[in-house]
Amino acid sequence: MSKESALSRLGYCGAFTLWAALVLVASVGNRATATNNVLLICIDDLRPELNCFGRDYIVSPHIDDLAQQGVLFKRHYVQAPTCGASRYALLTGNYGGASNGAIFERAKRIAAGQ
């Protein structure tokens, strides 16, 4: 293979690589980056008593608008029957009944006056 032929092939490969990179950058640049927003509302003992769940005796227009725009969960399952352990499990991914010692240790320190 001659030197000119090798340089010619190298030039074609370089031109193709440059073209492919430009096409890739152009296609990625045109896409809008969509971000997902998550709003988690934790309220003790509310139950499905809001208008978005079909009740009409509580007025909650802003929460109803959020529910209409997003995803409304109609089946709720918890890992523990108590509020603190259930929230702990939801926020940390740990089982609240077995690994929620931090709350109880703090309660002991508060009771002891520390």
How many whole angstroms separate alpha carbon 72 and alpha carbon 75? 9
Contact of 50 with 60, CB cutoff 8 Å: yes
CA torsion 19→24→26→31, rounded to 10°?
Answer: 170
| Phi, psi values for residue 109, rounded to 5° | -65, -40
- For residue 75, the model assigns a pLDDT of 78
Contact of 63 with 55, CB cutoff 8 Å: no
Task: For the chain of 114 residues, list the mean pLDDT of each consecutive stretch of 10.
Answer: 54 60 61 74 76 87 88 78 77 69 67 75
> Crossing angle for the helix pair 101-111 and 83-92, nearest 10 degrees?
130
At position 75, the amino acid (one-letter code) is R
Domain boundaries along the sequence of the chain: 77-114
- For residue 96, the model assigns a pLDDT of 66
- For residue 93, the model assigns a pLDDT of 77
Contact of 42 with 90, CB cutoff 8 Å: yes
Paired tokens of 109: 């320190």
